Chain A
Amino acid sequence: MTINRRRFLTTASAATLAAPLISTRAWANDPITFVSILDQSGGLDIYGQPMVETTKMAIDEINAAGGLLGRQIDLKVYDPQSTIQFYTQFATQAAAGDRADVVHAGITSASREAIRPTFSRFQTLYFYNVLYEGGVCDINNFCTGSTPAQTVEKLVPYTMNKWGSKVYIVAADYNYGQITAQWVQKFVRDNGGEPVETEFFPLDVTNFGPTIKKIQAARPDMVMSALVGGAHVSFYRQYAAAGMNQSIPIASTTFGVGNEHKLISAEEGDGMICAYSYFEEIDSPANAAFVERFKARLGADAPALNELAARSYEGAYIWAEAVKTADSVDRAAVIEALRSGLGFDGPSGRVEIEPKTNHALQNVYLAELKDQSFNIIETYENQQPADTLLVCDLVENPNQSEFKFENGLAAAGIDI
């Protein structure tokens, strides 16, 4: 090869341009960057604050045990203040500015859909550790929370069997509530019941009086709530104030994951039934140790633990396991490790990544509220994300980054 002037210049300038890129790339002892974007203020803070605390606890524990691959983990936490616009801003900051090795982010499905494309575009590994309506089919996104086929599918027949078959649905007015309401309708019909009415509420509604009157007029056997956020807690107060909790019981797909059972009194909440993949009241040595470490860490200020908080902790560990298995923080290698049937034995039991959907195989518990704590009635082990499996196969076609239920279940070919 002859080196002429032009070729020399091209090579030299390319090398000069590339040099800063190479030098900012991680050296062996640079910390690994773990970014967490969760609402710690605004209406969604009831979910975000415990999640941030458990994420910090997981990272501190991993660092205290020597870090990963001989490197410490640097945790950066952003607070998007329950505002979608800040989510997109911080997501770009995490991916392009911080060059995060992994991002654990998002509470509402609306926020997830706002930031998921950013992480795909910047090729930044993304974890979503919140229970949701199912249907994300994205090679870059691991959804570790429970989905309706795991929880609602158990909750509906159990409560219909106990209370009756006419179900009144109240839900938050955005993609989670809308799609979850469709799942509830489907499961109610599948079990021979009748969804008498479905109502949606914007997240800042605090007066539920007209709805409570409508529920009285419709005379259902039970109410199924998929309400979200601090303002919606008013529903349970006003429902009890009208004496309705004595006559028409409530089951919920969201109550408790924001520690709502601690925000309302025992008389207002007693008798409600919920199903999640984690309750603080799970009776196992792993959970007892987890709860004890958490309380010791935060003392009297420690919030109650719920699925979102526990799964944020487990989500961080699942990622850490994958980094160890891959022996690298490289995105492709970690994704491959995660999808090789990798799992983690956490406080909720074993959580394993299901490679067709990048969702989790997990235990599900059904519990009844009594005196501000949940009594576990049923345990269902190793549940499949069957809803997302209906529409998603990343093994066959890994080149996907979609939300299959974006336009509802009917559009995804599921009869409701």
Chain B
Amino acid sequence: MDLVLSLILQIVYVIANLALISLGLAIIFGMMRVINLAHGEFLMLGGYTVVVATNNGVNLWVAMLILAPLVVGVIGVIVERLLIRWLYGRMVDTLLATWGLSLLFIGLITSIFGASTSTTISPPLGVVTIGEYTSSGYELFLIGVTVALLIGVYLVLKFTTLGLVARGTMQNADMAAALGVSTSRIYMITFGLGAAVSGLAGGLLAPITGVLPTIGSIYIAKAFITVISGGSAILAGTASASVLLGGINGVVSFLTGPTLGEVALLLAAIVLLRLMPTGITGRFFKKSQ
């Protein structure tokens, strides 16, 4: 019983982890149709923000929850102004440009901090005991943050003027412009928001995975698979795809090992996209768009 409970907790954590690394991409790719191959590097920059800040004496929580999204959000806005805004609607060009951007970030961070950084940030919050089993309290915290983040993004998109205008702009930019909305500003804010969410995710993951300039490559494929499997409704899609893929990955990893766990995740995504080429929300939860 204790094992089952602690295992369920572990699988929920795998699901939350997947949702956390995908949400920023879901905003940028799902809403704006910008294929952001530098998504992994946004996560990486969030991690480095936390490392640099804590090394300079900033409180870990402030660094993770405030500085990481702030810094990466600003970087996102700069990137949008200098690079992305010239390339809207040109999918292949954005793909190439953001790939270049990803290489640039990796190179830049490597030359500043070296290829490996000594980070001794331990995950805070101690240990949670379930009968004879123990879990990391920080993993529980991450599950909570992910849920809060999903709800937060939902509330912003659904109930604020900014959210309404942003959704309107993504649906029909010309009409929004005719109604007096500055679409260019909305694009910039949305991209910055996506980058900020990625930065927050990267910052939160730094104590668990450590930080390397190339750590983005570990996340990018999984994030894209999750977002594409989720389909066009960014929140319901990311959440449902994370539950499905993360659940399969967690169960198979426990039963066999991490290699087959990854294989099962990829296989599930292939089968899913073969059956539902527009993703889960192309078939179900259509109202959530």
Report the stretch among B62-70, B157-165, B207-215, B270-278 that lies at the interface. Answer: B207-215
**Is B132 a contact partner of A234 (Cβ separation < 8 A)?**
no
Question: Is A237 a contact partner of B7 (Cβ separation < 8 A)?
Answer: no
Residues of B with C-beta under 8 A to A267 = 122
Q: Which residues of B, 123-144, contact A by the 8 Å Cβ criterion?
A: 123, 126-127, 129, 132-139
Cβ contact within 8 Å between A216 and B118: no
B71-79, B227-235, B255-263: which lies at the interface: B255-263
Which A residues from 288 to 329 make CB contacts under 8 A with B? none
The complex places the Cα of A206 from the Cα of B139 at a distance, in Å, of 14
B208 touches A241 (CB 8 A): yes
Counting CB contacts under 8 A, is B250 at the interface?
Answer: yes
Given A216-B134, A237-B123, A242-B135, does the pair A205, B258 have CB atoms closer than 8 Å?
yes
> B109 CB to closest chain A CB, in angstroms?
11
Which of B10-18, B96-104, B148-156, B188-196 lines the interface with chain A?
Answer: B10-18
| Cβ–Cβ < 8 Å partners of A201 in chain B | 257-259
Hey, which chain B residues are within 8 Å of A202, CB to CB?
258-259, 262
Q: Is the CB of A237 within 8 A of B122?
A: yes
Rounded to whole angstroms, the CA-CA distance of A204 and B220 in the bound complex is: 12
Alpha-carbon distance A237/B121, docked complex (angstroms): 9
Are the CB atoms of A265 and B254 closer together than 8 Å?
Answer: no
Residues of A within 8 A of B135 (CB): 242
Known: A41-B110, A199-B257, A242-B127. A264 touches B120 (CB 8 A): yes
Question: Is A403 in contact with chain B by the CB < 8 A criterion?
Answer: no
Given contacts A46-B116, A205-B258, A210-B253, contact A233 B3 (CB under 8 A): no
Q: Cβ of B254 and Cβ of A200 under 8 Å apart? A: no
Kindly report which residue of chain B lies nearest to residue A205, judged by CB atoms.
Answer: B258
Chain A residues with CB under 8 Å of B134's CB are 216, 242-244, 247
Taking a contact as CB atoms under 8 Å apart, the answer to whether B10 and A213 are in contact is: yes
A200 touches B115 (CB 8 A): no
Bound complex: CA A263 to CA B259 (Å): 25
Count A-side interface residues using an 8 Å CB cutoff: 42
A95-B139 Cα distance, complex, nearest whole Å: 50
Residues of B within 8 A of A241 (CB): 122-123, 127, 136-139, 208
Task: Answer whether residue B119 sits at the interface, using C-beta atoms and an 8 A cutoff.
Answer: yes
Does A214 count as interface, using CB distance less than 8 angstroms? yes
Which residues of chain B in 215-231 are interfacial with respect to chain A, using CB atoms and an 8 Å cutoff? 215, 217-218
A270 to B259, CA, bound (A): 29
Q: Are A210 and B133 in contact, CB atoms less than 8 angstroms apart?
A: no
Q: Give the residue of A46, A200, A234, A263 whose beta carbon is less than 8 angstroms from that of B208.
A: A234
Q: Mark B1-44, 1 if CB is under 8 A from A, else 0.
A: 00100110010011001000000000000000000000000000
Q: Which of B110, B123, B133 contacts A213 (CB 8 A)?
A: B133
Chain B CB within 10 Å, residue with most, of A173, A231, A244: A231
* Residues on A with beta carbons closer than 8 Å to the beta carbon of B212: 43, 230-231
Across the two chains, which residue of chain B brings its CB closest to A267? B122
B149 nearest CB across to chain A (Å): 19
- Chain A residues with CB under 8 Å of B123's CB are 237-238, 241
Whether A42 sits at the interface, judged by CB under 8 Å, is yes
Interface 0/1 of A251-272, CB less than 8 Å to B: 0000000000011110110000
**B214: A residues at CB distance < 8 A:** 41-43
Minimum C-beta distance from A320 to chain B (A): 29
Given A202-B259, A263-B120, A214 contacting B208 (CB threshold 8 A): no
Cα distance A200–B257 when bound, in Å?
A: 7
Most buried by A among B7, B110, B214: B214
Once A217-B3, A263-B120 are accepted as A-B contacts, the answer to whether A41 and B115 lie under 8 Å apart by CB is yes
CB distance from A371 to the nearest CB of B (A): 12
For residue B110, which residues in chain A have a CB less than 8 angstroms away from its CB? 41
Chain B interface residues (CB < 8 Å from chain A): 3, 6-7, 10, 13-14, 17, 110, 114-116, 118-120, 122-123, 126-127, 129, 132-139, 207-210, 212-215, 217-218, 250, 253-254, 257-259, 261-262
Q: A49-B115, A241-B137 provided; 5 other pairs, C-beta below 8 A?
A: A200-B259, A201-B259, A240-B122, A262-B120, A263-B116
Closest 3 CB pairs of A and B: A243-B127, A241-B136, A210-B253
22 A-B pairs with C-beta separation under 8 A:
A42-B115, A42-B214, A43-B212, A49-B114, A199-B257, A200-B259, A205-B258, A208-B258, A210-B250, A210-B253, A210-B261, A213-B3, A213-B254, A230-B212, A234-B208, A234-B209, A237-B209, A241-B138, A242-B127, A242-B136, A243-B126, A243-B127
